[in-house]
Structure 1
């Protein structure tokens, strides 16, 4: 209902109206024009001009479109919540399988036998890379993280190392380029991706895929990262137990 071109043309009073309506959508769809004018401190004439700017002939049509807009928003939000919960439930069910648990233990043994553990990721994955390095370090395994995919990589810094690569899509060219550099320097690559068939997963020595439903609102990727956090923590604890054996 509200498109970027319309919002860009709004005056200060229009923005005041728009902000109030968006923040009080449940109430606004039932308001009379005088009620809305009183609540926002603008004139009814300003409201009618606002209705024209958003493609409505009058306030009555505006309210009809506003109700439809709210219905779409509610349906969209419910769909995202359901999709997210379903993805998380399916992931947790998969992690209870013997094969999945054995893969985690195998990777933990490799990490435990390495001298260094490097985490890398871009965007939200970079934030989780920092979290992963701190979590492992707290469990007595030295780890550090890289959020800059263009940082020069020197062999002495990653000698006898394991690199954990975090990537939702597994298709970022910057991440792929960094993975190839780590492999060339001899680092063992463990990737945590949303798809085992992604490019990052295929070039990794080990891959843990969580297959969460991809969720976008606009251009923002809101795919749940809860499985990634679980896998980081599960790997860290498994590594800790392996270290206790040595």
Structure 2
């Protein structure tokens, strides 16, 4: 920023008195402090009169010290804003890469065989129950609505007690779909265990590779969950891997069956 003051035309600079040139050099040297200084403070710090400062301002093209100070403040904001934008863009790019990485790795982890098995189970089931808790409920609800639109008898449940009770009543002509990022939601694990004991088919969408649900479920569609979270203090991790899986599963179902 100090270079701006050396752009003063030589003819103007030559009109400055020795004390005015001294003030100008002082301002350049302390440019970051100037926006918060009053003319009286500058006068004291530079050990010159306020009149000298005012004369200097007029000679370099300003109405007074206040207008000069505002121009410096605006310039400082611009520079800081550009630096802030650069930092923000880097952080946003990190978020973009994180999501891209999760999507690509989830797709790589999907097994065509498992997708085909899941399609067949859904197609032949007389009724489908979709179980989920927390943020996974949004994906479970979408799965339910789309299957209903495709003519399937399907319902979704998110209440812990109802999930446990219903899991004990499923028939062998029905199936259950579990949606859980961690694969460790207790009521879902309990329900899956109930169904396994009755040899009822289950499909699980999860990012928990070695989770309880993954180990109990008949068909597991695994997604990739990154370790980085922008909400580390809360359990609100993105369900993007599960969204990718559910979309691929339902698109594949339509392709195969219609």
TM-score, normalized by the shorter chain, greater than 0.5: yes
**Shift of residue 118, structure 1, vs aligned partner:** 0.9
Q: What per-residue deviation string (whole Å, max 9, x for no partner) do you get for residues 144-166 of structure 1?
A: 10111221227555552111101
* Structure 1 counterpart of 2:150: 139
Unaligned 5+ segments in structure 1 are 1-31, 35-66
The alignment partner of 1:220 has SS state of coil
Structure 2: 5+ residue stretches without partners: 1-34, 38-80
d(CA) in 2 for partners of 1:243 and 1:153? 28
Q: Which moved more, 1:164-173 or 1:219-228?
A: 219-228
Shift of 1:77: 5.3
Q: Contact 1:164 / 1:190 at 8 angstroms: preserved in 2?
A: yes
Partner of 1:86: 101
- Listed one character per residue, the Cα deviations across residues 130-176 of structure 1 (whole Å, up to 9, x for unaligned) are 11100111122221101112212275555521111011111122221
Tell me: CA distance 1:87–1:235, structure 2 relative to 1, closer, same or farther (3 Å): closer
CA RMSD of aligned residues (A): 3.2
* C-alpha spacing 1:172/1:209, structure 2 compared with 1 (3 Å): same
Q: Which residue of 1 aligns with 2:112?
A: 101
Tell me if the contact between 1:149 and 1:178 (Cα under 8 Å) persists in the aligned partners: no
Max Rg structure? 2
Equivalences, count? 177
- In structure 2, the residue matched to 1:163 is 176
1:153 partner SS? helix
Q: Which deviations, in whole Å up to 9, do the C-alpha atoms of 1:86-135 show, x marking residues without a partner?
A: 1212223444xxxx122201111122111111111110112211111001
**2:130·2:179 contact (CA, 8 Å) conserved in 1?**
yes
1:149 aligns with 2:160: yes
Structure 2 vs 1, CA of residues 185 and 213 (structure 1 numbering), >3 Å: closer, same or farther?
Answer: same
1:224 corresponding residue in structure 2: 238
Of 183, 189, 192, 2:202 maps to 189
Matched, 1:124 2:139: no
On the 8 A contact 1:169/1:195 being kept in 2, the answer is yes
Residue pair 1:139, 1:237 contacting (<8 A) in 2 also: no
Residue 258 (structure 2) pairs with residue 238 (structure 1): no
TM-score (norm 1): 0.60
**Aligned-partner SS, 2:160:** coil
Give the drift of 1:212.
Answer: 2.2
Q: Distance in 1 between matches of 2:124 and 2:192?
A: 20
Q: Which residue of 1 aligns with 2:214?
A: 201
Distance 2:113 2:167 in 1: 32
| TM-score normalised over the length of structure 2 | 0.58
User: 8 Å contact 2:167–2:194 — kept in the other structure?
Assistant: no
